[in-house]
Structure 1
């Protein structure tokens, strides 16, 4: 039997990744292209410069096709997954009329304002990129989170004119809605020529990046939870209905029609904080890593493993990007003394992420009325053995890492496998394509220590917010 292949595209906040999978879910080859730094000319504005989201996909796809040693004719389809909560303003010809507004941009918290006559369409990143890859102006309904005229229970535009009009986007400016798993179009001549991906391949809609990642991580059962370690860190469990009045979680679209992912409160600029630290002390880390003949990431994790649990009293509060409703919030390290160096700071970031997410997941569990029994960690941060063990100890449950840690691309490939008839449904496709790499079990003594320290951590912001808000108000008056 001829071996078949699937391309998964994962357009993220910091990089674009293109992976060629076998139909068993194993990676054949992959390439990643870093995005340019976000353009932030003033507070509240965050844009992806130029046409960076598309250009980086082209660059990564071109490289991966150069690596691919199989027959391109055996590639059955392309799955497209991109970051959520962004806004793309598109010309009549399908090109950008302005840079894509990031999910960190405060304009995304408000209805659309039409200030540029070059704008013919207002869409998401998935709609814009589907248009560039195929020429088809279709988009997945499962990426319309935020200020869009979307009825989250019917997965259609609001049919009530007054409600629809309140979002200030004329119907003629919106793309045609399709469902995750639908074929949105076929690779056009321009994308094929730029990348080497065969023209005419079906390009399959997925959902938003977090929901597609949940599918690629194998999340199909409420007994299992997922923590996605990305620029935005979130915890997820599967849901069966839209919860309209939840307090400690929200209902996100899943990668299949009329299914949902329940998502806890998260951490904005989560794993970005690791990059921030690495850049802050980059020269010292780079030199020490070179002397040890290892990568900077391996070096940091090796050093962090020598730091005791609790970091000798150092804690990190992960508020490097304040929300629009709490602009006074700031990231901080608290508890420095002469013992602390960048290894302590790195471990404190990992512990702070775990503490915050344990707090958020516990609140979600209490509201839902059940406890998760095991946890999957996905995203680039799952490559750290130290970080994985910290999660096992802080959550005090078994934690697993899958063979494909960047699960959004695999989730996109799973959608293609079903859409193109490789497997009959998502349950079978997930069973065949998602594979666990290794697991981590909690250490009772560290779990006990982290339980006590977690209580302290949960109280830090309540004590410091008053000071931070006073400072913010003083500086805002300048």
Structure 2
């Protein structure tokens, strides 16, 4: 590593000749971006894919559509890159970042999925989670894997599939069932499917399954046994570092055939890397479909006692030790804005919700607890549903729009308070990225509620940038983290709090009352009813 205090500057002339691709397969869309060596976007293409909601609380994706959307994005963005006069030989490598807990199962003999992918916000496993919480050893799981029992991780989704889908159960009993998160599924197909037969995942994605021991970064027999998984009957992907020149294979067909895939990170870890969160105490908050705040705790995991998750921040392999994070996960952020546009018709475009919120001076007394999937960190309330408090004849659509944006800001404050309690340190500022950060109103509100500056980059594709950085490290485009300090630093906007701290505290206290009042909306029969 470079000596402390040394000044490492980018060789921009050299790095502008290196190009790195990044696949970013999120919750609602896939994209492929091509960056140069100083982090500028050269070309990109994005495709939204279908969101399937077969029952209330169920959320699925067509696993084959995830693959086709990625391959189409690669073709079209690369064509744009070539049309600019660049050479294929200058595109050195590709990184991959994906949504995390979403669960895919497929047949090892045919390579075909055996069910739709069950997406991370899906809550069909309510009943199963209640059952597992009563099982012997349940109170020890978080110490091993960093995650509490909830509907969120992949483990309970796989258990549900094994109990309720005959084709999955049959494949398991016959020893031809493959399990993976979206990264494993995409890597399997990008490498040619059955012909290459690549089954691999990185530790950031594996840490979201509840199957991996957080200290050892390998599957844990105690965890697998708890979730009734016999590793002799199922193909589990090999866990490897997120930056590797050989573990992830290469593109098997299409315009980038033969280009090596050298990086793989879960989307929130990728965003932390893209924000250069390499030192303990640094943090970022990504406002996407959900909202995810990661806080770098260094080379030893910290198991939260305040409702947060312990997870792998990133693992670049080689001589570097893995780095861990505390994470606060909010199920509904941008999807709350989508709810106002798609379900309630408040506007036709997401950005118009921020404009609508700006037509009023405050929330008019409205508090929207956006518990569409219960509440995640730090509350972990599974018997709540979305609830709006404080509606009067005075209430306008603008008040509800503002309350929707504020809901994410309040939950971020709750997570920061929990992180301060777990770590003993208070953040001095918060780096942010993701779609909702385009709203100046939302970011100013966030600064006012948390009482510290909010730091927004000009280039918001930090998740894809993180995947590109992981791949670039594997291929020696960069060798030290210090080389990245100048990437994506130009044109940042800092939102300073512009209200008294007491005002932000008062609003947050009212939010806390709303959270407590929404508890218990779902009774035991609602949660424990037929989940099949």
TM-score (norm 2): 0.79
* Separation (CA, whole Å) in 2 of partners of 1:476 and 1:122: 27
> Residues 296-445 of structure 1: matches in 2 within 5 Å?
296-309=349-362, 311-322=363-374, 326-425=381-480, 427-445=481-499
Aligned-pair CA distance for 1:94: 3.5
Q: Secondary structure at the match of 1:265?
A: strand
* Separation (CA, whole Å) in 2 of partners of 1:469 and 1:366: 30
Aligned-pair CA distance for 1:163: 5.4
Q: Match for 1:104 among 107, 113, 121?
A: 121
1:73-101 C-alpha deviation (Å, 9 max, x unpaired)? 21001001111112221222444233222
* Separation (CA, whole Å) in 1 of partners of 2:116 and 2:305: 34
Q: Secondary structure at the match of 2:271?
A: helix
Structure 1 unaligned spans of 5+ = 287-295
* Separation (CA, whole Å) in 1 of partners of 2:223 and 2:515: 37
Report the counterpart of residue 458 of structure 1 in structure 2: 512
Is 1:124–2:176 an aligned residue pair? Answer: no
Q: Secondary structure at the match of 1:51?
A: helix
* Separation (CA, whole Å) in 1 of partners of 2:231 and 2:524: 42
Aligned-pair CA distance for 1:420: 0.9
* Separation (CA, whole Å) in 1 of partners of 2:204 and 2:248: 17
> Residues 146-161 of structure 1: matches in 2 within 5 Å?
146-158=208-220
CA RMSD of aligned residues (A): 2.7
> Residues 136-151 of structure 1: matches in 2 within 5 Å?
136-151=198-213
Q: Match for 1:61 among 34, 57, 74?
A: 74
The answer to whether the 8 Å contact 1:224/1:373 transfers is no
Q: Secondary structure at the match of 2:485?
A: helix
Change in CA separation of 1:88 and 1:360 when aligned onto 2, cut-off 3 Å: same
Q: Match for 1:225 among 270, 279, 283?
A: 283
Structure 2 unaligned spans of 5+ = 1-13, 126-153, 163-167
The answer to whether the 8 Å contact 1:239/1:259 transfers is no
Change in CA separation of 1:336 and 1:24 when aligned onto 2, cut-off 3 Å: same
Change in CA separation of 1:471 and 1:157 when aligned onto 2, cut-off 3 Å: closer
The answer to whether the 8 Å contact 2:32/2:46 transfers is yes
Report the counterpart of residue 170 of structure 1 in structure 2: 231
The answer to whether the 8 Å contact 2:366/2:403 transfers is yes
Change in CA separation of 1:433 and 1:186 when aligned onto 2, cut-off 3 Å: farther
The answer to whether the 8 Å contact 1:218/1:434 transfers is no
> Residues 277-292 of structure 1: matches in 2 within 5 Å?
277-282=340-345, 285-286=347-348
* Separation (CA, whole Å) in 2 of partners of 1:141 and 1:52: 25
Report the counterpart of residue 133 of structure 1 in structure 2: 190
Report the counterpart of residue 271 of structure 2 in structure 1: 213
Report the counterpart of residue 51 of structure 1 in structure 2: 64
* Separation (CA, whole Å) in 2 of partners of 1:140 and 1:259: 11
The answer to whether the 8 Å contact 1:6/1:20 transfers is yes
Change in CA separation of 1:109 and 1:156 when aligned onto 2, cut-off 3 Å: closer
Aligned-pair CA distance for 1:47: 2.2
* Separation (CA, whole Å) in 2 of partners of 1:476 and 1:421: 54
* Separation (CA, whole Å) in 2 of partners of 1:43 and 1:297: 23
Change in CA separation of 1:25 and 1:313 when aligned onto 2, cut-off 3 Å: same
Q: Match for 2:101 among 85, 97, 102?
A: 85
Is 1:267–2:330 an aligned residue pair? Answer: yes
Aligned-pair CA distance for 1:210: 1.0
Q: Match for 2:308 among 249, 265, 270?
A: 249
Change in CA separation of 1:345 and 1:475 when aligned onto 2, cut-off 3 Å: farther
* Separation (CA, whole Å) in 2 of partners of 1:86 and 1:303: 33
* Separation (CA, whole Å) in 1 of partners of 2:267 and 2:337: 21
TM-score (norm 1): 0.87
